[in-house]
Amino acid sequence: MTVLLVFAIGLRLANKWVGLLGAAFYAFAVLPIQLSHFATVDTVTNTFAYLAIWAAIWALTRLEPKFPEDQSKLVRIFSSMAPYLLFGVPWAQRLPQINAVVVALVLPLVEWVRIRRMNEEQREKGLLLAVRNVAVAAVVSFLVFRIGQPYASTAWFL
């Protein structure tokens, strides 16, 4: 699954050959093969981390409709919330996972890039929406984490 996600990321950002080369590099890399062999949780965490990164790339590179009112509300919600929803899953797989923290740093960057692409009169409204999206997404990520890791409430830091 992660190999397909690496291909999808390369395809979305460049072309099919970049996606194929990235997928081949990931497929023949030693560490993912070793982690899969020993059935560690890192492979599942990496899959969902790549899925969250793909959703962030999709949200930034999707085509905007000519008439925004024609765009369904579900597509608007998915494009802004999917990376954040998917972030809670790798974090719930294993608590001290450093690559899930890196994904958390990437997600506010998505909103910043989205705001920078807007013209001046749209930026003020876009900034309010971005702050709302990040706040709601933080709550949603925490809820997904709590559902995926119910025993985390016994830890002293949560």
DSSP string, 14-76: S-HHHHHHHHHHHHT-HHHHHHHHTT-THHHHHHHHHHHHHHHHHHHHSPPPSSGGGS-HHHH
Dist CA 140 CA 143 (whole Å): 5
**pLDDT range class, residue 18, cuts 50, 70, 90:** very high
pLDDT for position 22: 95
For 64-84, what is the mean pLDDT? 64
Distance CA 68, CA 20 (A): 34
The residue behind tokens 């920078």 is 116
Closest of 6, 149, 39, 4 to residue 88, by C-alpha: 149
Would you say 53 and 107 are in contact if contact means Cβ atoms under 8 Å apart? no
Using the predicted structure, report yes or no on whether residue 24 has a pLDDT greater than 80. Answer: yes
Kindly list the domain boundaries of the chain, sorted by start residue: 69-154
Range with lowest mean pLDDT among 28-32, 62-66, 122-126, 147-151: 62-66
Residue 102 banded pLDDT, cuts 50, 70, 90: confident
Say whether pLDDT at 10 is over 80.
yes
pLDDT at 106: 75
- Residue 25 pLDDT greater than 90, yes or no: yes
**Contact in structure between 44 and 98 (CB atoms under 8 Å):** no
Question: Helices 120-148 and 73-93: crossing angle, nearest 10°?
Answer: 40
Average pLDDT, the chain: 77
Distance CA 82, CA 1 (A): 18
Band of the pLDDT at 92, cuts 50, 70, 90?
low
- Residue 115 pLDDT > 70: yes
Confidence of residue 124 (pLDDT cuts 50, 70, 90): confident
Structure tokens at 11: 């395809």
User: pTM of this prediction?
Assistant: 0.72
- How far is residue 46 from each of residues 13, 41, 149, measured CA to CA in Å? 19, 9, 17
